[in-house]
Amino acid sequence: MIRAAARPGPWKRGRVPAAAALLLGLLMLLHTEIPNTGGVGSLVESVLPWFGLLLVPLLAGALWRRSAVAVLALLLPVTVWLNLFGGLLTDKSHAGGDLVVASHNVGADNPDPSGTARDLAASGADVLALEELTPQATGAYEKALATTYRYHTVQGTVGLWSKLPLSDARPVGIETDAGPLAATKPAAATLADNRALRATVATDRGPLAVYVAHLGSVRLLPRTGFWTESRDRNAKALAKAVAAEPNKRMVLLGDLNGTTDDRAFAGLTARLDSAQTEAGDGFGFTWPAKFPIARIDQILVRGVRPESSWVLPATDSDHRPVAAAVSW
């Protein structure tokens, strides 16, 4: 009599999905140890929240194999992911706030600067930062925002509009973007040199230092991988400027071309808190506008408390605007 071979028990089958689950958990747990050769470390950290999607096929594989060991192994990546990002799944916003700040990379090739400006003015922001301004479009933004914002300053490709008085506006010395992106901009979207500024906003609670920055671009290139050299240099220069800022209360607004999980921003995140992490609802992805997969447009604060943080509706830019209410 021929008998079928006994099927392995639930603790002996499913070793492949179990091993995959353990590797995923270790990858997320030890992401800071991944070498950044070719920008691999930064690339992984930029998309780290999306690693949670890999849990779905791993769970399906474990259930299909009826593998107890694979299900048990999944506890590691689930625990690590929840520890890293679970706090973003809850609404941490509060009502109120002394000041609403907003930031938007308006896009150098934006076909409707005036329309974008009107949308931003209607957002209710008291202080509005714009990045990627071109000489050709700056006048349109100034004209459309003049009624809502009495005070403004433009320094190169970045600008700050405010309902409250501004003073001590000056450029911040970070390098220009001379990398691979420079050759991809159309002639009609020529950008000026300066990419960061600092100004003081006079509030009824005292002066607030506001920085606006647009850090260098990142690109996936065939030979060099994830190219971040310009951005990383910019981030270090900006962190140095922030460290030297004498005002205890400050806000940094801008397109940093990276997520706050990226190791390139350790110098900034060590000194500043993310409004989205502290008072947001969800991940707050901002880029690309049509289907955002990462939050690269940031509002970082020091000495003031974020009460709420949100993403504004899309404009004709390839980024979505961000806003936050802060209080003293």
Q: Tell me the domain boundaries of the chain.
A: 15-89, 99-327
Residue 7: the pLDDT is 60
Residue 13: the pLDDT is 73
Q: How far apart are CA 104 and CA 209, in angstroms?
A: 18
Residue 296: the pLDDT is 98
Structural class in CATH, domain 99-327: alpha beta
Only one residue has tokens 């991988």, namely 225
Write the CA distances from 58 to 29, 47, 66, 89, 154, integer angstroms.
17, 19, 12, 21, 51
Stated as kind and residue range, the H or E segment containing 21 is: helix 15-29
Q: How far apart are CA 165 and CA 198, in angstroms?
A: 14
Find, among 322, 320, 296, the residue nearest to 308 by Cα. 322
Residue 223: the pLDDT is 73
Q: How far apart are CA 300 and CA 238, in angstroms?
A: 12
Residue 239: the pLDDT is 97
pLDDT in tens, 206-256: 999 999 999 999 988 877 788 999 999 999 999 999 999 999 999 999 999
Kindly tell me if the per-residue pLDDT of 8 is higher than 70: no
Residue 3: the pLDDT is 52
Residue 191 or 236, more confident: 236
pLDDT in tens, 261-313: 999 999 999 999 999 999 999 999 999 999 999 999 999 999 999 999 999 99
Residue 218: the pLDDT is 92
Find, among 257, 221, 259, the residue nearest to 44 by Cα. 259
Kindly tell me if the per-residue pLDDT of 321 is higher than 70: yes
Average pLDDT over residues 82-95: 96
Specify whether the CB–CB gap between 117 and 131 falls below 8 A: no
**Of 189-193, 205-209, 319-323, which range is least confident?**
189-193
Confidence of residue 62 (pLDDT cuts 50, 70, 90): very high
- Exposed (0-12), middle (13-18) or buried (19+): which is 105, by Cβ within 10 Å? buried
Only one residue has tokens 């096929």, namely 57
Average pLDDT over residues 20-48: 95
Spell out the alpha helix ranges (H) of 105-219. Answer: 113-121, 135-145
pLDDT in tens, 133-184: 999 999 999 999 999 999 999 999 999 999 999 999 999 988 665 555 554 4
pTM as predicted: 0.91
Specify whether the CB–CB gap between 295 and 261 falls below 8 A: no
Contacts of 56 (CB under 8 A, 6+ apart): none
Q: How far apart are CA 37 and CA 262, in angstroms?
A: 14
Q: How far apart are CA 120 and CA 98, in angstroms?
A: 19
Kindly tell me if the per-residue pLDDT of 192 is higher than 70: no
Average pLDDT, the chain: 92
Residue 79: the pLDDT is 98
